[in-house]
Structure 1
Amino acid sequence: MIKGMGWLLLLTLLFSVDVTAQSKIDSLIFNGQYLSAYEYVNNVDSLSIDMALKKVDIAINYHLNCQYFREFSFVNLRKGESLSNLRLKAGYGATPIKFDVDSFLQRLHSDYPTDHRVSKVLGDFYNKVYYDFGDSWGERSEVLLEKSNSYYLQAFENGVYDYYSLYALGYYQSLNENYFDAQRWLLKSLKLKPDEDLTNYSLAVTYLFDGLPQKGIRYAERAYELYSDSLSKSDAARITGILHLKTQQLNEAKVFFEKANELHPQYRPNQMYLLKVATELGDDSLSVKLAKEVLMAEKYSPELAEEMNSLFLQVDKIEWLCQVYDEVLEIYSVDSEVCGNIRFHYGKLLYKNGQKREARKMVKQSRKDFEMVFESNHQVFDAIEQTLARIK
């Protein structure tokens, strides 16, 4: 009985020491003393699994510099300093410390096969390697994601997970176009953290790709509300607009495309979606204004002019695009390359509208424009001859 109480006393003492050590480390981290925190845990003679995972946490999340998570340098912050700012300064910090996190975690996983916190941390590790280094780490990006997914799934099946691991499981399924499974994981993640912007955004996208736009609208709108930076907010607004467009809610779609365009001005996808909904709503003044702005911004792009033709033909509003082409030709009348590009696609537009004679005349004029700027062996002349051959 006394012997048994002795073992119990020893275990209690060891537990007390471990708790004290972790409290000390947490205090150092809270106060920005990252080098001291790492040195403290690194000098512990025998690491418990909790202390081992704490060591990994400090290395991955609180390093100053690292080489592929195999070598780290740390720093103790001084008043007014931040880790993110110091990371921008090359060569700052103490002598690098070798610590191969990958092999360390694998040994830990082997030593503690039933402690699935290690599986979860392995999932976190390979997920972070994927985002931070990708193929340059030494394994293909897809292999890193597969490993992360496998460890996260193993941990989940044994009751160890958080909102991010559930998100990552959903993200992996969405990459493989398993949208139903992706939605299942992402919804689980949102139950743990409903106001996570990226999860709401990703869920909305899976519903879009899965052909269920109505289900995605609430999550896209929520992501738009949650995002604070203008680019992410613009992306969320555009996705929301697309989902409304898919459900034929044109006025709602227009509102969100306008928001997206305001947040990220002169970004072609935003402009083109706003142009599309403007044409479908029959808003001729907005359609002409936008089409002209976009075309003038990329006046040498044949792909854009081709996209314009397709968009206006789809809604049977070619007279609006003809007006745009006429105005742009007038503005750039002395730029032969712009005129050649516009007239060539103007001719193709007229041909598709059944105006063959006018189409041939326009394409032939584009050839004269291009002859002013290109050598006779330029590929544009082959395209012109092929187009003229089709217009009979």
Structure 2
Amino acid sequence: MRLPLLLLLLLLLTPAVGWAQTTPAAADAAQATALRRAGQLVLERKYESAWKLLRLLDQMNQDPAVALQKTSLALNYYTATDELKRFAFRDLKLLDLSPDSLRQLAVDTPYYSFPARRVLEKLKNKYPDNYKLDRALGDYYFTVQQCDCAELDLGEDEVFRRTIQYYQQAHDHGQGDYLSYFALGYSYQRLGQFPESLAPFTRSIQLRPNYPTAHLNLAFVYLELKDFEKAQAHARRAVELFPDDAHKQDAAFLLSQIEERMRATAAKPD
């Protein structure tokens, strides 16, 4: 089924390819070219154009590689969503507002159907050894928690547990980056499982030493665990790294709380 769907892309993206070359290998090459083009459109902030290209590439959401790129685009760059089942996108210019800012506006744009959870779960059942799908499901549930716009019947704790389940599976098979490790640590932290959050937060910082949010959350965890010196070090680092005054002030407040606890502890008689 994939070859006919890609034939148009072969003609559009590689016009020098003749009919005699429309083999499965040529179709795979066309798909790779189309995925790269979609990625370039995202870099150019042409989010709706990228979505239309991906939709043309796999209308039935049967190809994991295309579905994963659709998921990344949908979760990160939508301007509006209907419970993470339908998404609106816009092509933006350099000086336009970010997609996150546009979510606050009542912008009349078309919605595209993409029931992200159902698509990913069906593909995971079909391709159980594709752990990139676990990573994407972790991203999905973390987005659910952050946006509070879907899966309302699950409850927040269950959303965190599913986030942990899928990210842990992905990480166990080499599918992770500083953001997924941060999200895993954050999920443990929000469930009150502070010791369990230490390793993923630490790994996030190993992968991105200048990521201030991981330093800030790790400072909070160490404060909860009464390891004040480590808490102080990470809070200071967060103050240094945050580029904006609002987040710097948040980190500075936490640092002041840590140092107050340190003074109170030191003042206690032995």
Pairwise mapping of residues 214-233 of structure 1 onto structure 2 (< 5 A)? 214-233=229-248
2:19 matched residue in structure 1:
none
**Offset of residue 134 of structure 1:** 6.1
Give the aligned length.
243
**Offset of residue 87 of structure 1:** 3.4
**Residue 194 (str. 1) matches residue 209 (str. 2):** yes
1:27 matched residue in structure 2:
40
2:114 matched residue in structure 1:
99
Code of the aligned partner of 2:243: S
1:382 matched residue in structure 2:
none
The separation in 2 between residues aligned to 1:131 and 1:146, in whole angstroms, is 14
Gaps of 5+ in 2: 1-21
The separation in 2 between residues aligned to 1:67 and 1:167, in whole angstroms, is 26
1:42 matched residue in structure 2:
55
Superposed CA deviations along residues 178-221 of structure 1, whole A, max 9, x for unmatched, are 33222122111110011111110111111111111012111110
Scaled by the length of structure 1, what TM-score is found? Answer: 0.57
3-state SS in 1 of match to 2:129:
coil
**Offset of residue 42 of structure 1:** 0.8
The separation in 2 between residues aligned to 1:62 and 1:169, in whole angstroms, is 21
Scaled by the length of structure 2, what TM-score is found? Answer: 0.81
3-state SS in 2 of match to 1:123:
helix
The separation in 1 between residues aligned to 2:98 and 2:191, in whole angstroms, is 36
Code of the aligned partner of 1:141: E
3-state SS in 2 of match to 1:195:
coil
**Residue 71 (str. 1) matches residue 86 (str. 2):** yes
The separation in 1 between residues aligned to 2:152 and 2:193, in whole angstroms, is 27
1:234 matched residue in structure 2:
249
Bigger RCO (CA 8 Å, 6+ sep): 2
Name the % identity.
24
Query: Structure 2 vs 1, CA of residues 249 and 225 (structure 1 numbering), >3 Å: closer, same or farther?
Result: farther
**Offset of residue 62 of structure 1:** 2.1
Contact in 1 for aligned 2:81/2:88 (Cα 8 Å): yes
**Offset of residue 107 of structure 1:** 0.7
Query: Structure 2 vs 1, CA of residues 23 and 194 (structure 1 numbering), >3 Å: closer, same or farther?
Result: same
The separation in 1 between residues aligned to 2:23 and 2:173, in whole angstroms, is 30
3-state SS in 2 of match to 1:151:
helix
Aligned-residue CA RMSD in angstroms? Answer: 2.5
Query: Structure 2 vs 1, CA of residues 22 and 210 (structure 1 numbering), >3 Å: closer, same or farther?
Result: same
The separation in 2 between residues aligned to 1:218 and 1:55, in whole angstroms, is 39
Greater displacement, 170-179 / 67-76: 170-179
3-state SS in 1 of match to 2:181:
helix
Query: Structure 2 vs 1, CA of residues 49 and 209 (structure 1 numbering), >3 Å: closer, same or farther?
Result: same
Code of the aligned partner of 1:113: P
More helix by share: 1
The separation in 2 between residues aligned to 1:233 and 1:81, in whole angstroms, is 26
**Residue 89 (str. 1) matches residue 102 (str. 2):** no
**Residue 205 (str. 1) matches residue 223 (str. 2):** no
Contact in 1 for aligned 2:51/2:73 (Cα 8 Å): yes
Pairwise mapping of residues 147-186 of structure 1 onto structure 2 (< 5 A)? 147-186=162-201
**Residue 133 (str. 1) matches residue 133 (str. 2):** no
Superposed CA deviations along residues 345-392 of structure 1, whole A, max 9, x for unmatched, are xxxxxxxxxxxxxxxxxxxxxxxxxxxxxxxxxxxxxxxxxxxxxxxx
**Offset of residue 52 of structure 1:** 1.4
The separation in 2 between residues aligned to 1:25 and 1:134, in whole angstroms, is 26
Pairwise mapping of residues 235-314 of structure 1 onto structure 2 (< 5 A)? 235-248=250-263
The separation in 2 between residues aligned to 1:123 and 1:241, in whole angstroms, is 34
